[in-house]
């Protein structure tokens, strides 16, 4: 099996960046959980709300890709690096599903995604440098916060929008699974100040991506 150098991995990550930030270039590996659900008839206000929520979720998936890519680049153990790369691959489905729903809502991803990708990649790389147990702990805390956001978003959806709900429900299940995997692999609980910093950054991201 070929062993990739740091330069090889950097080239691979550049390709991943382009694919993540360019719509319709990251095909889902699994079928969209909402593909058989009829598109609901939403009024203008409802459509705007759902589009805003899905734009936030799409940006969250862009950040997730960046975090995993950054952590995979600096992970010390090959097994942890492979786990990060596999998680990013699974999150690719979420990115594609969110893009599908945004197109159906006649909307588009956030224009600020390149900024959030860069910031998240840097944070992920730093987490990997700190050590694998901290990197895995960072994954667990990230997924915990993502699950909380998804739960809140499902509660904000119009009751008739079963299509969006199906997507968010599957995403929630996958994210919680990733959280449990990270903890089982040796992830540690992050210090409260780090958790609070992550929450603050998340709030800025969600508020800006909802509108822009």
Binding-site positions for Fe cation: 61, 91, 94, 143, 175, 178
Burial class (CB in 10 A: 0-12, 13-18, 19+), 78: exposed
Task: Report the alpha-carbon angle 116-121-125, nearest 5.
Answer: 155
Question: Quick count: other Cβ atoms within 10 Å of Cβ 158?
Answer: 16
* Torsion of Cα atoms, 19 then 21 then 24 then 27, to 10°: 50
In angstroms, the CA 126 to CA 93 distance is 25
Q: Which residues contact 174 (CB under 8 A, 6 or more apart)?
A: 90, 91, 93, 94
27, 96 contact by CB (below 8 A): yes
In angstroms, the CA 124 to CA 64 distance is 9
**Binding residue ranges:** 61, 91, 94, 143, 175, 178
């Amino acid at each position: 099996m070929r062993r990739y150098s740091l330069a090889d991995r950097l080239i691979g990550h550049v390709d991943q960046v382009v694919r993540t930030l360019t719509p319709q270039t990251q095909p889902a590996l699994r079928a969209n959980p909402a593909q058989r659900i009829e598109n609901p008839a939403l009024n203008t206000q409802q459509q705007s709300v759902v589009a805003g929520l899905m734009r936030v979720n799409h940006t969250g998936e862009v950040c997730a890709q960046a975090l995993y890519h950054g952590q995979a680049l600096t992970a010390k153990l090959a097994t942890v690096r492979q786990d990060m790369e596999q998680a990013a691959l699974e999150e690719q489905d979420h990115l594609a599903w969110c893009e599908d729903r945004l197109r159906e809502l006649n909307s588009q991803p956030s224009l600020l995604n390149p900024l959030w990708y860069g910031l998240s990649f840097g944070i992920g790389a730093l987490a990997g440098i700190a050590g694998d147990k901290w990197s895995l702990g960072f994954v667990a805390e990230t997924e915990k916060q993502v699950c909380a956001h998804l739960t809140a978003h499902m509660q904000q959806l119009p009751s008739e929008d079963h299509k969006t709900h199906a997507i968010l429900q599957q995403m929630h299940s996958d994210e919680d699974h990733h959280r449990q995997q990270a903890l089982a692999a040796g992830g540690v609980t992050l210090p409260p100040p780090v958790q609070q910093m992550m929450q603050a950054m998340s709030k800025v991201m969600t508020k800006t991506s909802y509108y822009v």
